[in-house]
Amino acid sequence: MNRVAAIDCGTNSIRLLVAEVTERHDGVPVLRDLHREMRVVRLGQGVDATGRLAPEALERTRVALADYAAVLVRKGVRDVRMVATSATRDADNRDEFFAMTKAVLGAEAEVISGDEEARLSFTGAVGDLDPDDGPFLVADVGGGSTELVRGTWDGTHAHVEAAKSVDIGCVRLTERALSQDPPSKRQQQDAGDIAERVLAEAYAAVPLAGARTLVGVAGTVTTMAAVALGLPEYDPERIHHARLDSRQLWRVTADLLSLKRAERAALGAMHPGRVDVIGGGAIIVRALARTVFEESEITDLLVSEHDILDGIALSIAGPR
C-alpha cells in the first residue's frame, strides 16, 4: 500500500497526517488515517511585530519536526509533502526555516500562497460531505490568517469557485488587541472591530449569498466545539460534524473571553498551546459566522476535523 505523509506548519501549530492511499473503482484516491498528531510550537511568535521568526520558535519547530521524521520512518512513508503558511510567508529570515526543515526532514518545505492554502483546506473539508448540501463555504481560522473558500463537491472532485486569505488569525489578533487576562470589554470590542474590518476583504472576494453549508476547520473551531459540547476531554469523533448554531457560538465565545488563563487551562478539552489564543480565535469565528448567517440562509456552523492536512495528502496521491 502507498503511504503518504502531510505536514502543515502554521503560525501556531505543526501537524502531521500519515495516511494509506487506496483507490475507488473509478480511480479516485481515498485516504485511511494511520496517524494524526499536533504540536503547538507558536512559530509565528512575534512575527506580526518584528517581521522575523524567533530563535526559540524555530527550535520548538525543529524538535517537533524531528519527532515527526521518526514517525515517517516507523510508518514506512513513501512520499511526504510539507507546506508552510502564514508565519513563514511573512518572515524576513524564512531561509533559516527552510534550511532547518530540509536538514531534519530531508524534503523541501513549500511556502504556499493564501489561495493554495484555501484550496487545500476546501478539498480536505468537503470530501466526506453530501454534495447536495453545497455550495459550501469553508472557513479555516489559523494562527496568522483566515481562509474563506466557496465551492462545490460532486462526490469525486472539489470545485473551488472563489477563495480569499486574509491576515487575521488567533495569534495575530491576540498579540494586537488582547493583552489583558481576561480581556476587558473595550479590548474585546476593539478585537471584534479589527476582525470584522479584515474579514470584509474576504467577503468582497467570496460571495456568501446562495451558500448552503458553512464548514469550520482547524484548531480554534474544533476547540470551540469541544467546549460548547461540554466534553471532559478532546474527542475528535464527537467533534467531527458537530453543528453549532448562533446561540451556542455566541455563548462559548463569551464564556472563553470571561475566563482567566488558569480557568481556560483547566477545561478538559483545551490543548495547552491554545490557552493563550483561543479568545482571539473565538472572536474571529463569531464575527465570521454572524456575517454569514446574516447574508445567507445558513443558520449553523458545521465543524470538521478534516482540513488542509487531508487536502495535502490527497495532493500527493493525485495531480497537484
Confidence of residue 10 (pLDDT cuts 50, 70, 90): confident
Judged against a pLDDT cut of 90, whether residue 46 lies above it is answered with: no
CB atoms within 10 A of CB 225: 28
Q: Please give the pLDDT value at position 28.
A: 66
CATH number of the domain where residue 174 is located: 3.30.420.150
Is the same domain home to 183 and 72?
A: no
Is the same domain home to 92 and 193?
A: no
**Residues, the chain:** 320
pLDDT tens digits, residue range 233-281?
A: 999 999 999 999 999 999 999 999 999 999 999 999 999 989 999 999 9
Q: In the chain, what's the furthest Cα-to-Cα distance? A: 57
Mean pLDDT of the chain: 91
Number of domains in the chain: 2
120 falls within a domain = no
| Residue 31: partners with Cβ closer than 8 Å, 6 or more residues away | 19, 20, 21, 310, 313, 314, 317
CATH number of the domain where residue 101 is located: 3.30.420.40
DSSP code for 318: S
140 falls within a domain = yes
Is the same domain home to 195 and 55?
A: no
Mean pLDDT of 286-314: 94
pLDDT tens digits, residue range 128-156?
A: 899 999 999 999 998 888 999 999 988 77
18 falls within a domain = yes
pTM metric for this prediction: 0.82
pLDDT tens digits, residue range 194-211?
A: 999 999 999 999 999 999
Cell of 110: 513549500
- How far, CA to CA in Å, does 215 sit from each of 121, 138, 155, 160, 166? 10, 5, 16, 14, 17
Is the same domain home to 30 and 137?
A: no
Is the same domain home to 83 and 184?
A: no
Strand, helix or coil at 289?
helix
Is the same domain home to 75 and 189?
A: no
pLDDT tens digits, residue range 62-76?
A: 999 999 999 999 999
Sort strands 300-304 and 243-245 into parallel, antiparallel or unpaired.
antiparallel
Is the same domain home to 53 and 131?
A: no
Is the same domain home to 83 and 132?
A: no
122 falls within a domain = no
pLDDT tens digits, residue range 85-118?
A: 767 877 899 899 999 999 999 888 998 877 787 7
121 falls within a domain = no
Domain range holding 47? 2-114+312-317
